[in-house]
Amino acid sequence: MNTAVAVESWKGQIVDGKFPLLEWLGGSQGTNVFLTESPGAPGQKAAIKIIRSSIETEGAVLARWQAIAELSHPHLMGLLHFGRWQNDGVLLLYSVADYADEALSQIIPSRVLTTAETGEMVRGVTDVLMFLRDKGFVHGHIKPSNIMAVGDQLKISSDCIQAVGGARGQTGELSAFDAPEALTSPVSTAGDVWSLGMTVVAALTQNTPDWDRRNARDPSILKSIAGPFRQIARECLRVDPARRCSLEQVNGWLEGKDVPAPPVERPAVPASEPKSSKTPVAAIAVFVIVVAAIVAVLNVTQHKAPPRVAGVNSEMGAPTPTAAVPTARDNVQKPNAPGAVLDRGMPNVSRGALNTVHGKIKVKVTVEVDSTGKVENARLDRSGPSKYFANAALTASRQWKFKPAQNNGQPVSSKWSLRYSFSRGGTDVNPEQISP
């Protein structure tokens, strides 16, 4: 399918009598995507993807899209419509999905993501991938162009989803986001894990790591990648799919949990031949002598009454317990102390969004902090009128770091209330410890 011809000749046509091709949005070999409108809802934007097909393959493609249309997840693009379209005697298939305001691939060339943004992206992607895995599917094409924003919601494309164990659904040149086994093995969740690792590196560095598909070495991960993301990338990007981490491990590292990495299989080392038979014989001789000595001692003690020793119970042969003498140190009550804020995670909101605020938007978040000072959980207690600012505050709250509270000199968990205030002048936050 010639892209230039498609853009010029198709624009303005109506697919299947329902979907006008309003504007070309992009495409690749054999695929074109146009802006369209949902039937019966003028002005409601949608994206229509058109692919070339054949009588032999159309049944399988339509059956796969039917299965995808039945999937529902908050971070998964809805597949709204699909069908056939004959254009100048050429059989084409189309699928219609939600319209995305922006894709990650459009953001990365201009800036890297913050750690908070990357954390939210990874959470959304892993949620979708675990959902698909549990339903018997894999995504197969996790990469920045398929991670999008619809309004203030992160969404993952859905039209390329396949059943676990199926063949790779897209032909053409492989990219760094395609797992090493992409051409030789069926699609799998392990392949999605590889793609997620590449996406994390690209989001934080604007580039994928240096890696040569022709050798068996794991990609080298930059030491400058912050926090848990370096470990996530390293464990996702194992050339051997059996050594890659699980999606659950990714989430554990993201939450700061001490989740062990997958064990590295190492070949057994064959036992070396002993240099001389004298060493084991000498060891056995020593062992026999020691055992004989122990037996001799036991025989003697069985025929002698145990001597009375001060402080020993003669009937039981055990020390007579004595009361512990308290010291001055034991009587000192160790101090209690409140926690303190070490690092604030401020919401990442655009100047344009702040300029739309009239007065102040107030958001309240409660965070649960463990005994090491890390945030274990964050929840919205007051979201305010804007979901955008509420989500920004919630995301930022997960990045806070605290000095743990002290109870009798020991670090303990605590709860904090974080009150955010958004206005045209900027963002303020007032933290308050509410327990213990």
DSSP 283-311: HHHHHHHHHHHHHHHHHHHHTSPPPP-TT
Give yes or no: residues 166 and 49 share one domain. Answer: no
- Looking at the chain, how many residues does it have? 436
User: Which residue type sits at 262?
Assistant: P
Do the domain assignments include residue 313? no
pLDDT greater than 50 at residue 307 = no
Strand partners, 416: 367, 433
Last residue of a domain, one of 211, 236, 254: 254
What CATH number is given to the structural domain containing 62? 3.30.200.20
Please state at what angle helix 387-397 crosses helix 115-134, rounded to 10 degrees. Answer: 100
Give yes or no: residues 117 and 226 share one domain. Answer: yes
Query: CB atoms < 10 A from the CB of 335, how many?
Result: 9
pLDDT tens track for 393-429: 999 999 999 999 888 888 999 999 999 998 888 898 9
Give yes or no: residues 107 and 94 share one domain. Answer: no
**Nearest Cα to Cα of residue 334 among 404, 403, 411, 402:** 411
Give yes or no: residues 80 and 113 share one domain. Answer: no
CA torsion angle 216 222 223 226 (round to 10): -120
Amino acid 273: pLDDT: 38
Do the domain assignments include residue 305? no
Average pLDDT over residues 142-168: 88
Amino acid 88: pLDDT: 83
Amino acid 143: pLDDT: 96
**Do the Cβ atoms of 130 and 73 come closer than 8 Å?**
no
Helix (H, G, I), strand (E, B) or coil at 123: helix
Amino acid 40: pLDDT: 72
Strand partners, 28: 31
The model's confidence at residue 120, banded by pLDDT at 50, 70 and 90, is: very high
pLDDT greater than 50 at residue 318 = no
Give yes or no: residues 115 and 142 share one domain. Answer: yes
Asked which of 192-201, 256-265, 322-331, 392-401 is least confident by mean pLDDT, the reply is 322-331
Give yes or no: residues 250 and 112 share one domain. Answer: yes
Cα dist from 220 to 144, 153, 224, 230, 361, whole Å: 20, 32, 12, 10, 44
Give yes or no: residues 115 and 46 share one domain. Answer: no
Do the domain assignments include residue 300? no
**Where is pLDDT greater, at 169 or 192?**
192
CA atoms lying within 13 Å on the CB side of residue 353: 16
Amino acid 381: pLDDT: 87
User: Which residue type sits at 104?
Assistant: L
Amino acid 105: pLDDT: 93
State the distance between the two ends of the chain, measured CA to CA, in whole angstroms. Answer: 66
Amino acid 335: pLDDT: 66
Angle at 106 between CA 100 and CA 107, to 5 degrees: 105
Average pLDDT over residues 245-251: 96
What CATH number is given to the structural domain containing 182? 1.10.510.10
**Do the Cβ atoms of 79 and 65 come closer than 8 Å?**
yes
Do the domain assignments include residue 286? no
* Percentage of the chain modeled with pLDDT above 90: 51
Q: Give me the number of domains the chain comprises.
A: 3
Find the domain containing 399 and state its range.
340-435
DSSP 361-410: EEEEEEEEE-TTSBEEEEEEEE--S-HHHHHHHHHHHTT-EEEPEEETTE
Amino acid 416: pLDDT: 92
The model's confidence at residue 359, banded by pLDDT at 50, 70 and 90, is: confident
Give yes or no: residues 77 and 127 share one domain. Answer: no
Average pLDDT over residues 123-127: 96
pLDDT tens track for 32-80: 999 999 877 777 899 999 998 888 888 999 999 999 999 999 999 989 9
Amino acid 4: pLDDT: 55
* Percentage of the chain modeled with pLDDT above 70: 79
Do the domain assignments include residue 321? no
The model's confidence at residue 135, banded by pLDDT at 50, 70 and 90, is: very high
Amino acid 334: pLDDT: 55
Average pLDDT over residues 244-271: 71
Average pLDDT over residues 104-124: 93
pLDDT greater than 70 at residue 85 = yes
Asked which of 212-221, 383-392, 422-431 is least confident by mean pLDDT, the reply is 383-392
pLDDT greater than 70 at residue 281 = no
**Do the Cβ atoms of 27 and 38 come closer than 8 Å?**
no
Q: Say how far apart CA 301 and CA 293 lie, in whole Å.
A: 13
Amino acid 118: pLDDT: 95
Average pLDDT over residues 354-377: 89
Residue with token string 């058109």: 50
The mean pLDDT of the chain is 81
* Residue 48 φ then ψ, to 5°: -115, 125
Last residue of a domain, one of 254, 288, 321: 254
Amino acid 166: pLDDT: 73
Last residue of a domain, one of 98, 132, 156: 98
Tokens of 256: 């700061």
Tokens of 39: 């039937």
Give yes or no: residues 86 and 22 share one domain. Answer: yes
Q: Where are the beta strands (DSSP E) in 167-313?
A: 312-313
Amino acid 324: pLDDT: 45
Amino acid 114: pLDDT: 92
Query: For residue 38, with 0-12 CB atoms within 10 Å meaning exposed, 13-18 middle and 19 or more buried, which class applies?
Result: middle
